[in-house]
A and B are shown apart, each in its own frame.
Chain A
Amino acid sequence: DTAVSQTPKYLVTQMGNDKSIKCEQNLGHDTMYWYKQDSKKFLKIMFSYNNKELIINETVPNRFSPKSPDKAHLNLHINSLELGDSAVYFCASSRGTSSYEQYFGPGTRLTVT
């Protein structure tokens, strides 16, 4: 009965590898997001999709590529991982672009060694 789910919860990998994080929501929402939370707990938006269309793309390195196969899923693929990519990544969703209540998933802790 989880609303927004992410897999995996923990991801440990070496520099230079490529990895993906998956997100799914069963709330029937049209808009999904990826946020990055750094070691100081600062939350910053990375991307947002509405009905599979990219609507927010912050100044994120192009090694990060989101993909939305349908409006219930938003995956994040990261190429050539760097030490600085270590963080907790949160997926979130909201009813639409004009509805503001955003619901967050449990997070994926990515550690790059």
Chain B
Amino acid sequence: GENVEQHPSTLSVQEGDSAVIKCTYSDSASNYFPWYKQELGKGPQLIIDIRSNVGEKKDQRIAVTLNKTAKHFSLHITETQPEDSAVYFCAATPYGNNRLAFGKGNQVVVIP
């Protein structure tokens, strides 16, 4: 099955700086890559996703890039704000399979 690795496990950034989280996956058949944000005491919230027919997708201050050759995808958060502090999860799944394989999560701390 799919195996997703997520790095780094913890990331601290100054408010206003950028944060980048990188994930690697093992199954070359994977073609859907969502990112979830989980705030303390809440459920994971889908914030952006990308499918394998595109290399980059942007939504305001967040963007996701995908490199299918290297089997990695990254989440970029620009102009970080304190409310961006949360645990971020990447996931991957092959076409036609709704069994999401999650990374272990990344704690992002934005320092005011």
A residues adjacent to B (C-beta < 8 A): 4, 31, 40-45, 48, 56, 90, 92, 94, 97-107
- Distance in angstroms from A88 CB to nearest chain B CB is 9
- Residues of B contacting A42 in the complex (Cβ-Cβ under 8 angstroms): 102, 104-105
Docked Cα-Cα span, A101 to B36, in Å, equals: 11
Point out the residue from A43, A56, A106 that lies within 8 Å of B42, measured CB to CB.
A106
Docked Cα-Cα span, A40 to B99, in Å, equals: 21
Given A42-B104, A43-B102, A44-B102, verify A98-B96 contact (CB < 8 Å).
Answer: yes
CB under 8 Å from chain A, chain B span 78-112 = 87, 89, 93, 96, 98-100, 102, 104-105
> Is there contact, CB below 8 Å, between A45 and B100?
yes
Give B104's nearest chain A residue, CB to CB.
A42
Point out the residue from B38, B46, B98 that lies within 8 Å of A97, measured CB to CB.
B98
- Distance in angstroms from A7 CB to nearest chain B CB is 14
> Is there contact, CB below 8 Å, between A41 and B43?
no
> Is there contact, CB below 8 Å, between B99 and A102?
no
Give B18-35 as 1s and 0s: 1 = Cβ < 8 Å from A's Cβ atoms: 000000000000001010
- Distance in angstroms from B101 CB to nearest chain A CB is 9
Give A33's nearest chain B residue, CB to CB.
B98
Point out the residue from A48, A97, A99, A104 that lies within 8 Å of B43, measured CB to CB.
A104
> Is there contact, CB below 8 Å, between B44 and A104?
yes
Given contacts A90-B43, A100-B100, A106-B43, 20 further A-B contacts (CB under 8 A): A41-B38, A41-B105, A43-B89, A43-B102, A48-B98, A48-B99, A90-B44, A92-B43, A94-B98, A97-B96, A98-B96, A100-B49, A100-B93, A100-B98, A101-B34, A102-B100, A103-B46, A104-B43, A104-B44, A107-B43
Point out the residue from A56, A99, A101, A106 that lies within 8 Å of B46, measured CB to CB.
A101
Q: Which of B42, B49, B93, B102 has the most CB of A within 10 A?
A: B102
> Is there contact, CB below 8 Å, between B43 and A31?
no
